[in-house]
Amino acid sequence: MKLNVAAPKYRAPRLRLTPRRIWIYYGLLAIFYAIWIGYMSFADKWALFLDYWPASLTMSLGSFVAGATAEGGAAVAFPVFTKVLHIPSSDARTFGLMIQSFGMTMASVMIFVQRVKVLPRVIGWVSLGGILGQIVGAYLVTIPDPYPKILFTFVATAFGVVMIISRWFMNWSPRDEVANWNHSRRALFVLVGVVGGTFAAQTGSGIDMLTFIVLTLAFGLNEKISTPTTVVIMGLNSVVGFFIHGAMLQDIGGMWNHWLVAVPVVVVGAPLGAYVAHRVSRDSIIIFLLTLISIELVTTLWLVPFTSLAQVLFTVTAVFICTVFFWVMLAYRKKYVGAV
C-alpha cells in the first residue's frame, strides 16, 4: 500500500527580535528623549514648534525614507527646504547632515537589532573615503545656488533609472557578497566614498545613492542587502559632516531650531523605515522611491527656472556624466565580476 504523505510546506524563517537586542534600541531611545525633553524644558524651547513645525512634518516622511531606502532623509528635506520653504541650499545641506546623524544612526541600531545582513567591508572602505570627501566638500568645493538643487535632482533621477534597469531590464541573479576582495576593490570603494562624500557635503545626501549604484550595477548586489549597507554608510558620513559644520566651521546658525523640532521625529521614523523595509518586497520599496523621485524631478523642472545657458549646459553635462557612469559600471561588472 502506497502512502501519499504531503511534503511539509516551506515557511520562511521569521525574524524575531530578541529581548536583549531590542532593548538596545529602546534604551538608547529613552536616553535620547530624557535628554531632549530636559533641554527643551530647561531652555524653554517648546514654542519653537509654533514656528518650525514644517521641519517636523517634513521629517516625518523624510526619516522613514532615510531608514527604508538608499536615499537618506535629505532626499526629502533638501528639496522641501530649498524649493518650498526657500531655505538656502547650504543651510538645507547642513540640516540634512545634522538630522541624519541621529535618525540614520538610530536606523543603523535597528538594522543591528534585526540582524539584517550588511557588508562591513564596503561600509568601512566607503566611510573612510567619505571622511575625505566631506572635508573636500566643506573646505575646497562649493557649488553656488541653484546648481545644488539641479545636481541633487538629476543624481536622484539617475538613482531611479538604476533601480529600473536593475529590477526590470537586467536578467540577473542578485548576489549576496562582493566577491574576490583585493586592492582594486578597496581602492574603488574608497573612491566611491570620496566622490559621494564630496557630493553629500553639498546636498546632505549622495554617498548612499552612489554606493547603491555601484553595488547594484557593478557588482549585482541584492537591493535588500545593499540598501541597509548604504543606510549605515550615510549615517556615519552624516556624523562626520555634522562634526565639521558644528565643531570646526561653526556655521549651523538657525538650523539648530529646525533640528530641535525634527530630531524627536527621526529617531523613531528612521528605525521604523528600516524595520518595514526588511519586511516588505523589494518592488514595494522601488515603486515608493520612484514615486518620490518623479515628484522631485517634476518640481525641479517646474520651480527652478532654467534662465541661463550655464544652467542648461550644467544639466546636459550632468545627464551625460551619469550615462557614461552607468556604462562604465556595467562594463566593469562584465569584465571583472561577470554578468549572471
**Cβ atoms within 10 Å of 272's Cβ, excluding its own:** 17
Question: Hey, what's the cell of 295?
Answer: 515628484
| 142 within a domain of the structure (yes/no) | yes
Residues 204, 72 contacting (CB under 8 angstroms): yes
For 23-37, 150-164, 225-239, which range has the lowest pLDDT when averaged over its residues?
150-164
Q: How far apart are CA 136 and CA 207, in angstroms?
A: 14
Q: Is the pTM of this model over 0.75?
A: yes
| 324 within a domain of the structure (yes/no) | yes
| 278 within a domain of the structure (yes/no) | yes
Give the pLDDT band of residue 18 (cuts 50, 70, 90). low
Residues 63, 266 contacting (CB under 8 angstroms): yes
The pLDDT tens digits for 36-85 are 999 999 999 999 999 999 999 999 999 998 888 888 787 788 889 988 89
State how far the alpha carbon of 45 is from the alpha carbons of 34, 101, 196, in Å. Answer: 15, 21, 35
DSSP for 38-65, please give it. HHHHHTT-TTHHHHHHHHHHHHHHHHHH
Give the pLDDT band of residue 269 (cuts 50, 70, 90). very high
| 291 within a domain of the structure (yes/no) | yes
**Domain limits at 249?**
62-337
| 179 within a domain of the structure (yes/no) | yes
The pLDDT tens digits for 146-205 are 788 788 888 888 888 877 877 787 767 778 888 888 898 999 999 999 999 999 999 898
Looking at the chain, the whole-number percentage of residues with pLDDT higher than 70 is 92
Contacts of 148 (CB under 8 A, 6+ apart): 82, 89, 93, 202, 203
pLDDT of residue 171: 66
Q: How far apart are CA 212 and CA 221, in angstroms?
A: 9
Does residue 317 carry a pLDDT above 60?
Answer: yes
Total count of domains within the chain: 1
For the chain, the average pLDDT equals 86
| 57 within a domain of the structure (yes/no) | no
| 246 within a domain of the structure (yes/no) | yes
Give the pLDDT band of residue 4 (cuts 50, 70, 90). very low
What distance lies between CA 69 and its chain's CA centroid?
6
| 156 within a domain of the structure (yes/no) | yes
pLDDT, greater one: 234 or 3: 234
